[in-house]
Amino acid sequence: MLDKKNKILIIGLGLMGGSYARAFTEKGYFVGAIEKKESSLAYALEKGFIQEGQSEPKADLIGKYDILIFALYPHIFTEWVKQYQHLIPKGRLLTDVTGVKGAIAEDLQALLREDLEYIGAHPMAGREASGIENANTEMFRGANYIVTPTEKNTQEAIDTCIEIGKTLGFSTVSVLSPEKHDEMIGFLSQLTHCIAVSLMDCKDAEHLARYTGDSFRDLTRIAKINDEMWSELFLLNKKALLAQMDLFSEQFAKMRDAIAEDDQESLREMMRLSTERRTFFDKKTNR
Amino acid sequence: MLDKKNKILIIGLGLMGGSYARAFTEKGYFVGAIEKKESSLAYALEKGFIQEGQSEPKADLIGKYDILIFALYPHIFTEWVKQYQHLIPKGRLLTDVTGVKGAIAEDLQALLREDLEYIGAHPMAGREASGIENANTEMFRGANYIVTPTEKNTQEAIDTCIEIGKTLGFSTVSVLSPEKHDEMIGFLSQLTHCIAVSLMDCKDAEHLARYTGDSFRDLTRIAKINDEMWSELFLLNKKALLAQMDLFSEQFAKMRDAIAEDDQESLREMMRLSTERRTFFDKKTNR
């Protein structure tokens, strides 16, 4: 289980790593960091988000820590483990913040030392802005945290990871298989970003602002997107995401047909269903 | 031009008609109403939104008013004019709140008496909730109001209609042709509602709430929809809406192709474009 004596090492001080560091420090944990970018490291030290930090992975620093949390781009994360896992003492717990799980779990399990344990986790929080300068712990409130164990994980690791989510301040902590997670995230998060980007790409924005209502604003808020990170996540979750995109296209085509055929009753039926489901969703999320 | 001596008659006290009545009364205008539903009429009188009201159109009431604002469903609006326009003294100005313009303008111009003038207007504000009980003038702040004159309109009517938008408290008042309006609204408002409804209809909401982030919540807020009104508006704007739906489908398919082909560079390019446009959009709308 998680304990205040556990020292926590954050690898990667971007928006998420920075926010994690800040949250753990506020809760009284000893937090260190490894971050290539000297300015981010300096910022975290100056703001008191971390107690210590280095720009290169070294055994003496890493050796002090009980839990290693990776807040890196997926391909950098697996590369890091491949290159530096020999610096980690045996028995330590590794976890992450990566937005896809199946592909990562497979890769990591294939290369991770037998005496280390990795357990996946996905904090479903974010901001349009990136970088440690935007780090904040507010975004965890009301948000969901998903732990994605495989059959290789111990119950102790699962429990610790659940505690991490709660300690960070997430409102809901769930446990899902990596496959279920990827399907869920493909639908709820990746598909919605695909839609927002596609919609924003349809037309030049020059003249839209003057005539817009809230709808377009709401639907394109997430079209402001970190292209490097999201394109990587999309491709890592390709199979699940394509299935969700096709599911949406099918519904959208059904609506198009109803309009083309002046089939008002089918249109209304689709709208009544969406209204009913969204009303139910509101109740469930207390919004 | 609009003047406080102008008496204003609202026909239809739903969410929009009720909010209009409330706003004009707050600004010191004499406001009356015609509304079939006795309970809505009683509510408006009790709350002081109107000075007087009747449930049936009668010459003595209508005769008092200078400006008639129709806040009815589109097909009821044209029916009303057909049936009751003989009760309106000559020279009076008619305007509306209908969300499509081309179809309405055509219909009305074909049937309206020569000595009356109709000028279209579209208040781009709304709520998920309907009915006069939800009437509020807050929703006009920060919102857009579009006047849609045809070549049949006088400059005086255009000016009066612009003043109506300003008096109600809309932040931006624009003038557009009915055709341009319908294209713009097809894209900004109707297409976004088609997307939200389709997305919400994809899956049972039962298990979604637990895992959702803000994205899905934002993209489906407007999936709670008045099916009677919106299905009618969609079909009245069929041609423009289908064109906008196809434009979106094209972009969405382009993104799907990029993912299917592991074409990260194309994906990133689409994301960079959406990020740039949305950033520009934010600046223009000061959000």
CB under 8 Å to B157, separation ≥6 — which residues?
A: B93, B117, B119, B149
Note whether B71 and B196 are same-domain residues: no
CB–CB of A71/A12 below 8 Å?
Answer: yes
Note whether A88 and A37 are same-domain residues: yes
Q: Distance between CA atoms of B230 and B226, rounded to whole angstroms?
A: 6
Per-residue pLDDT, B207:
77
B248–A213 C-beta distance less than 8 A: no
Which ranges constitute the DSSP H helices of chain B? 15-26, 38-46, 59-62, 74-84, 102-111, 155-168, 178-185, 192-201, 214-220, 227-236, 238-260, 264-285
A232–B284 C-beta distance less than 8 A: no
Which of A176, A198, A213 corresponds to the end of one domain?
A176
More confident residue, A130 or A251: A251
Nearest residue, CB atoms, A274 vs list B201, B215, B270:
B201
Q: Under DSSP, is residue A32 helix (H, G, I), strand (E, B) or coil?
A: strand
Nearest to B246, CA basis, from B176, B198, B187, B206: B187
Q: Distance between CA atoms of B206 and A87, rounded to whole angstroms?
A: 45
Per-residue pLDDT, A213:
76
Nearest to A161, CA basis, from A96, A212, A234: A96
Q: How confident is the model at residue A214 (pLDDT cuts 50, 70, 90)?
A: confident
User: Which tokens in the block code for residue B147?
Assistant: 């006047």
Question: From the CA of B233, how many Å to the nearest CA of chain A?
Answer: 10
Q: How confident is the model at residue A284 (pLDDT cuts 50, 70, 90)?
A: confident
Question: Which site among A212, A242, A248, A257 would you substitute to test the B interface, given the most B Cβ atoms closer than 10 Å to its Cβ?
Answer: A212
Contacts of A198 in chain B (CB under 8 A): 248, 251-252, 254-255, 270
Contacts of A244 in chain B (CB under 8 A): 202
Question: Which site among A252, A283, A284 would you substitute to test the B interface, given the most B Cβ atoms closer than 10 Å to its Cβ?
Answer: A252
Please determine, for residue A205, whether its predicted confidence score (pLDDT) is greater than 80.
no
Q: Is A210 on the interface with B (CB under 8 A)?
A: yes
A235–B256 C-beta distance less than 8 A: no
Question: From the CA of B91, how many Å to the nearest CA of chain A?
Answer: 31
Question: From the CA of A212, how many Å to the nearest CA of chain B?
Answer: 6
Contacts of B225 in chain A (CB under 8 A): 271, 274-275
Note whether A190 and A236 are same-domain residues: yes
Note whether B185 and B172 are same-domain residues: no
Please determine, for residue A39, whether its predicted confidence score (pLDDT) is greater than 90.
yes
- Is residue B2 domain-resident? no
- Is residue A227 domain-resident? yes
Structural domains in chain B (count): 2
Nearest to A279, CA basis, from B188, B226, B136: B226
User: Which tokens in the block code for residue A4?
Assistant: 């205040």
Nearest residue, CB atoms, A194 vs list B203, B212, B255:
B255
Contacts 24+ apart (CB under 8 A), A55-60: A57/A11, A57/A84, A57/A87, A58/A87, A59/A87
B216–A196 C-beta distance less than 8 A: no
Q: Distance between CA atoms of B238 and A283, rounded to whole angstroms?
A: 34
Per-residue pLDDT, A128:
66
Per-residue pLDDT, A151:
92
Domain that holds residue B146: 7-176
Note whether A170 and A188 are same-domain residues: no
**Domain containing residue A244: CATH number:** 1.10.3660.10
Average pLDDT score over residue span B254-263: 98
Q: Is B239 on the interface with A (CB under 8 A)?
A: no
- Is residue A165 domain-resident? yes
Average pLDDT score over residue span A149-160: 96
Please determine, for residue B205, whether its predicted confidence score (pLDDT) is greater than 80.
no
Note whether B30 and B114 are same-domain residues: yes
CB under 8 Å to B143, separation ≥6 — which residues?
A: A213, B123, B124, B125, B170, B171, B172
- Is residue A164 domain-resident? yes
Q: Distance between CA atoms of A71 and A14, rounded to whole angstroms?
A: 7
Q: What ipTM score was computed for the predicted complex, to two decimals?
A: 0.86
Please determine, for residue B287, whether its predicted confidence score (pLDDT) is greater than 60.
no
Note whether B159 and B185 are same-domain residues: no
pLDDT tens for A71-111 read: 999 999 999 999 999 999 999 999 999 999 999 998 898 89
Note whether A164 and A210 are same-domain residues: no
Q: Distance between CA atoms of B94 and B92, rounded to whole angstroms?
A: 7
pLDDT tens for B95-145 read: 999 999 999 998 898 899 999 999 999 998 877 678 999 999 999 998 899
Note whether B91 and B206 are same-domain residues: no
